[in-house]
Amino acid sequence: MTTPAAVPVVPLDPAPTRTDHRSERAPDRLMRRVLGVEEPVQQLGAGASQGAHRAFRVSVLISAVRCLITYALVPVLVPVLSLSGWVAAPIGIALCVLAVVNGVVSVRRFWRIDHPKRWMYTAFIGVVFIILAIALVSDLARLGVMA
């Protein structure tokens, strides 16, 4: 009789870590440098990811409130209350600035935690920033600051 050969023990894959989706490609390194994100968060917990998603939701909510005020309330209230654009423009500018700041914070959070969808979110927030820039220019023109 022969004795059975020893079967090597292969360890199971370790639990996924934060760096499983981290890329060191040149575009990723450049974006981290632009956003000022040197070191990623050490743990990929539900809290870190939820914080990034919460910042994203707040940024989109601020943009939605700005749109509602600028394109729904102001056109209705201006004729009713005999207000001019000088009332709506400062509100729009303040909301644009707040939305941009919150958008930058949320993008940085997505990159700090190395979220797997960070590029998709970065592209989305880039489109939002373009829309906010157009609205900001419109509000500044309404105030007479820009021609």
pLDDT digits (tens, 9 = 90+) for 54-70: 777 777 787 778 778 76
State how far Cα 114 lies from the chain centre: 13
∠ CA(46), CA(49), CA(28), 5° rounding?
140
Per-domain boundaries in the chain: 60-147
Condensed to tens digits (0 to 9), the pLDDT of residues 91-136 reads 788 888 888 888 888 888 888 888 888 899 899 889 989 988 998 8
Note if the pTM is more than 0.85.
Answer: no
Whole-number average pLDDT of the chain? 75
Paired tokens of 114: 């190395």
What does each C-alpha distance from 70 to 6, 25, 90 come to in angstroms? 74, 41, 10
Contacts of 112 by beta carbon, 8 Å cutoff, 6+ apart: 37, 40, 41, 48, 52
Q: Which of 120, 129, 94, 147 is nearest to 31 (CA)?
A: 120
